[in-house]
Amino acid sequence: MKTYFSLKRFLKPTQEAAEPEKPLLTPREKLLADIEKTQHALEVAYCGFDYVTDPDLIDCYIYEVNSALKRYRFLLQQAERMQSLENTDSSSENLFMEHELVSQLCPIPGNLSLHHN
């Protein structure tokens, strides 16, 4: 495994040159993508909760559902805040604030669910 990762590091620059660059996402698109991931994590947590019978797993899914719900509510509040900023003024100061909000929202890269990929 160690050799694979070290070779990958050396081969990566030539592979990146061949691949087209991904377009940068706007703060709004990042927030919407994070909301979609959280919705998916919430659905997975509810499905898991529906099918477990072990008391420890029931507790685990209760915590997972509560966690996803709190994150979902937070993201919806941020979306409302971003929308109100867009409606009041579209100056560069507000764009900076939106970028700052999204950078605070997205500290967790990748999938939000620990149980399913």
Q: What's the pLDDT tens digit per position in 7-23?
A: 555 555 555 555 667 77
Q: Is 89 left (phi over 0), alpha (psi -120 to 50) or beta?
A: beta
Q: Model-level pTM?
A: 0.57
* Average pLDDT of span 85-111: 60
* Average pLDDT of span 45-68: 94
* Average pLDDT of span 56-62: 94
Residue 62 CB-half CA count within 13 A: 7
* Average pLDDT of span 20-38: 87
> Is 11 or 114 the better-scoring residue by pLDDT?
11
